[in-house]
Amino acid sequence: MAGGDFGPRATKELLRQYGVIAKKQFGQNFLIDARVLEGIVDAVNADDRTVALEVGPGLGALTIQLANRARQVIAIEKDETLRPVLGGVLAGRENVELVFADCLKVDIEALVSPFLQPVDDFVFAANLPYYVTTPILFAVLESKLPLRRAVVMVQREVADRMVAEPGGKDYGVLSVGVQYRGAVKRLFVVPPSAFLPQPGVESAVVLIDCERRPDDRATDEEKFFQVVRAAFSTRRKTLENALASGLGVPKSESADLIRRAGLNPSVRAEALSIADFVRLAEQMGT
- Residues of this chain that interact with ligand SAM (CB under 6 A) are 26-31, 55-59, 61-62, 76-79, 102-104, 127, 129, 132
Q: How far is the CB of 37 from ligand SAM (least distance, A)?
A: 8
Nearer to ligand SAM, 26 or 232 (CB): 26
102 known ligand binder: yes
Torsion, Cα of 99, 101, 102, 107 (10° steps)? -70
77 labelled binding-site residue: yes
C-beta of 11: minimal distance to ligand SAM in Å?
8
Is 29 annotated as contributing to ligand binding? yes
Q: Looking at beta carbons only, is 31 or 227 nearer to ligand SAM?
A: 31
Bond into 197 cis (ω within 30): yes
CB of 245 to ligand SAM, least distance (A): 32
Nearer to ligand SAM, 9 or 236 (CB): 9
- For residue 181, which of 157, 155, 154, 146 has the smallest C-alpha distance? 146
220 annotated to a ligand binding site: no
Q: Which is nearer to ligand SAM, 73 or 247 (CB)?
A: 73
Identify the bridge partners of residue 184 per DSSP, sorted by sequence position. 208
Smallest separation, CB 102 to ligand SAM (Å): 4
User: Is 80 known as a binding-site position?
Assistant: no
Residues annotated within a binding site for S-adenosyl-L-methionine? 29, 31, 56, 77, 102, 127
